[in-house]
A and B are shown apart, each in its own frame.
Chain A
Amino acid sequence: MTTALNRIDQLFADRDRKRFIPFLTVGDPSIEATFHLVKAMVEAGADLIELGVPYSDPLADGPTIQRASERALENGVTIGDALQLVKRLRESGMEASIVLFSYFNPVLQYGIERFFADLAAYGADGVVIPDLPIEENGPAVTAAKQHGIHVISLVAPTSSSRINTIGAQATGFLYCVSSLGVTGARVDLREDLADFLERVKASTTVPTAVGFGISTPDQVRAVAPHTDGVIVGSAIVQQIEKHVEELKDPIQMPQAVEKIKTFVHQLASALQ
């Protein structure tokens, strides 16, 4: 099922177009809801979907995504369920790129080799592992290459001299952490963000995408000139949380999905 060229590479082939990347947690509040939300987000203009694997100890995440993880874990959602969801999305004809976001321990317990083999078999394109810096990612990168999957590296404003090393090794795209701290919507972005993003761009040949704290169409517009893609997570998860009871109810779910789709469309269209 793997395509000769990874979908992420195809997506960013035209660097003149900016790409919109929404994040949501798998199984928040149910696998069924996530399936419909992803389909709606693609219709709303999402180019790449970042699917969060719920985890008991999400160190890099703020309260919003922690709560999403807890809701998913209450349903017993596993990394295996996330992979099955990817398979189902592909079987339904979805062509947008898919990146899984998972902490390292679930990957380690699933088996690194088995994880990348299954990502490829089920039609995912990449993975973000927020607690796996370049010093520790050797075994994952080796397995990923064998299966044509990108391990997406992160760079932070504190990376300083590490930016060039990370940039040189990056594949797929380079995930730029826009602010110090955990994930979560922020009112203001760093004043030196543009400088940081330009420094990252100069360090690498792969496209860049910026995330952590971006929550409004205005913020999307503000960072767009300095990046190839914009990632929005917590702001979308907040919308899911707001409509969580409706999403749990099969009758009310379509309406709730429609509302979140509108929200995502507003963010995505800020890039056009």
Chain B
Amino acid sequence: MNNSQTTTRVVPDENGRFGAFGGKFIPETLMNAVTQLEIAFEEARRDPAFVQELNGLLSEYAGRPTPLTYAERLTKAVGGAQIYLKREDLNHTGAHKLNNALGQALLAKRMGKKSIIAETGAGQHGVASATVAAKLGLSCKVFMGEEDIRRQSLNVFRMKLLGAEVIPAVSGSRTLKDATNEAIRHWVSHVDETFYVIGSVVGPHPYPYIVREFQKIIGEETRSQVLQMLRRLPDEIVACVGGGSNAIGMFYPFIQDESVALRGVEAAGKGIDTDKHAATLTLGRPGVIHGSLTYLLQDECGQVQEAHSISAGLDYPGVGPEHAYLKDSGRVTYTSVTDAEALEAVQVLCQTEGIIPALESAHAIAEAIKRAKEMSSDKILVICLSGRGDKDVLTIQEALTTGGGE
């Protein structure tokens, strides 16, 4: 790579900037809260007791480390690079989201907060937050777009079963963006007693940084697992990007390994030549959403546009500011995959490996299959399988029987 200078810089800087991106574009009412959070996190990550408690929960409660699986039949079917799967689907609650929810909820407890709130799209972060709230004895409110509540009714029931209150967001497109707006509005009103557990590497500083630090365990484990199994680094890593927390968690420990190509996959929805997509990095322009300057799907006057994806977790018009930075620096390549391609990838993985992937993760699989075909059989490709697809089975059934996704 010719840009090692930019990629070796420490990001974010003290202003919460990843290059030009990031920052704290939030109401004054919240400024004190994010400053306190920054101080509390820096203290916590240096406190051996905090680190030990988190690591204990990650191994004995969440079930980490998650395995790295050689996808032998998929590799044969594709006929190119050897494909490995980082199995975040085997994390407790079925996705990578728990890594971050555990970390933030422990931080909330440390800061003396009794209630946590969270936003959720597909419901995975909501379920993870409800889970850790139950485990740590905190009360939990989850904000979820009305449209997503309809698409992910099973996860809504899971959250309620776990003792959380699910609050429908009925403004705007009634999806993740609006759930995040509602969560922030609630936070502004209850900032003294409430901790906002953000589910992705988005939002005002220090959230994109904190979430990366809690998710980088994905890449750290992968790196040591690949080295142990194969005595070498992989050639390429593929992860899906909505807000982008599984991708940042996977990529970050490999940023300095210049021989490892990194590829983020956005949702192209019905196609990037239509207006029904969520390909923020591919088609967006820099703008401000949820407190952060980043790539954004917006009209020419700066009104935020609605995103579209069959996968609720990728249905977001913004993206984490660190991804914006990594795109502009050239360290990570960002591409997109349509609803139809993702549905096809779900079936391929089911039938070759006996794993039902989340629709989000299926975007990474679809892209990885395209990439692996172009690579020789001595190359190693790792897919971040960010979550399992049980939550999506109804959506997949509906799409396959109606020929949806087209």
Among the listed stretches B24-32, B326-334, B368-376, which one makes contact with chain A, having 4 or more residues with CB under 8 Å of it? B24-32
Chain B residues within 8 Å of A154, by CB: 27-28
Task: Identify the interface centre among A157, A158, A180: most chain B CB within 10 Å of its CB.
Answer: A158
Chain A residues within 8 Å of B24, by CB: 133, 135-136
Chain A residues within 8 Å of B185, by CB: 59, 62, 181-182
Is B300's CB under 8 angstroms from A109's CB? yes
Give bound CA distance, A119 to B15, whole Å: 29
Is B15's CB under 8 angstroms from A177's CB? no
A158-B33, A180-B189 known; A57-B25 Cβ under 8 A: no
Which residue on A lies nearest to B190, using beta carbons?
A180
Give bound CA distance, A153 to B300, whole Å: 27
Interface size class of A (residues with CB under 8 A): 35 or more
- Which of B31, B184, B289 has a CB less than 8 Å from the CB of A162? B31
Verify if A30 is at the interface (C-beta below 8 Å from B): no
Is B188's CB under 8 angstroms from A109's CB? no
Verify if A106 is at the interface (C-beta below 8 Å from B): yes
Which residue on A lies nearest to B31, using beta carbons?
A133
Chain A residues within 8 Å of B63, by CB: none
Chain A residues within 8 Å of B290, by CB: 57, 59
Verify if A79 is at the interface (C-beta below 8 Å from B): yes
Is B172's CB under 8 angstroms from A57's CB? yes
Is B29's CB under 8 angstroms from A177's CB? yes
A133-B24, A136-B24 known; A160-B32 Cβ under 8 A: yes
Verify if B229 is at the interface (C-beta below 8 Å from A): no
Task: List CB contacts (< 8 Å) of B8-53 with chain A.
Answer: 15, 23-33
Give bound CA distance, A79 to B302, whole Å: 9
- Which of A79, A105, A110, A156 has a CB less than 8 Å from the CB of B27? A156
Give bound CA distance, A111 to B184, whole Å: 26
Is B189's CB under 8 angstroms from A109's CB? no
Give bound CA distance, A156 to B187, whole Å: 14
Interface string of B294-311 (1 = CB under 8 A from A): 001010111110000000
Chain B residues within 8 Å of A66, by CB: 171
Give bound CA distance, A158 to B192, whole Å: 8
Is B302's CB under 8 angstroms from A181's CB? no
CB distance from B76 to the nearest CB of A (A): 47
CB distance from B314 to the nearest CB of A (A): 19
Is B302's CB under 8 angstroms from A108's CB? yes
- Which of B188, B285, B300 has a CB less than 8 Å from the CB of A180? B188
CB distance from A73 to the nearest CB of B (A): 7
Is B29's CB under 8 angstroms from A180's CB? yes
Which residue on A lies nearest to B33, using beta carbons?
A158
Is B25's CB under 8 angstroms from A60's CB? no
A57-B304, A159-B31, A182-B189 known; A109-B298 Cβ under 8 A: yes
Chain B residues within 8 Å of A131, by CB: 25-27, 288, 291
Task: List CB contacts (< 8 Å) of B260-303 with chain A.
Answer: 285, 287-291, 296, 298, 300-303
Interface string of B108-142 (1 = CB under 8 A from A): 00000000000000000000000000000000000
Which residue on A lies nearest to B15, using beta carbons?
A135
A180-B190, A182-B188, A182-B189 known; A60-B32 Cβ under 8 A: no
CB distance from B286 to the nearest CB of A (A): 8
CB distance from B184 to the nearest CB of A (A): 5
Chain B residues within 8 Å of A166, by CB: 28
CB distance from B179 to the nearest CB of A (A): 12
Chain B residues within 8 Å of A110, by CB: 301-302
Verify if B191 is at the interface (C-beta below 8 Å from A): yes
Interface string of B168-201 (1 = CB under 8 A from A): 0001100001000100110011111000000000
25 contacts between A and B (CB under 8 A): A56-B172, A57-B177, A57-B290, A59-B188, A66-B171, A105-B287, A105-B288, A105-B304, A109-B285, A109-B298, A131-B26, A131-B288, A136-B23, A154-B28, A155-B28, A156-B31, A158-B32, A158-B191, A159-B29, A160-B32, A162-B32, A177-B28, A180-B188, A180-B190, A180-B191
**B residues engaging A (CB < 8 A)?**
15, 23-33, 171-172, 177, 181, 184-185, 188-192, 285, 287-291, 296, 298, 300-304
- Give 9 new A-B contacts, CB below 8 A, not counting A158-B29, A177-B29: A59-B188, A106-B301, A109-B298, A131-B291, A133-B24, A133-B26, A154-B27, A154-B28, A166-B28
Closest 8 CB pairs of A and B: A181-B189, A109-B302, A156-B29, A106-B302, A56-B303, A105-B302, A154-B28, A105-B288
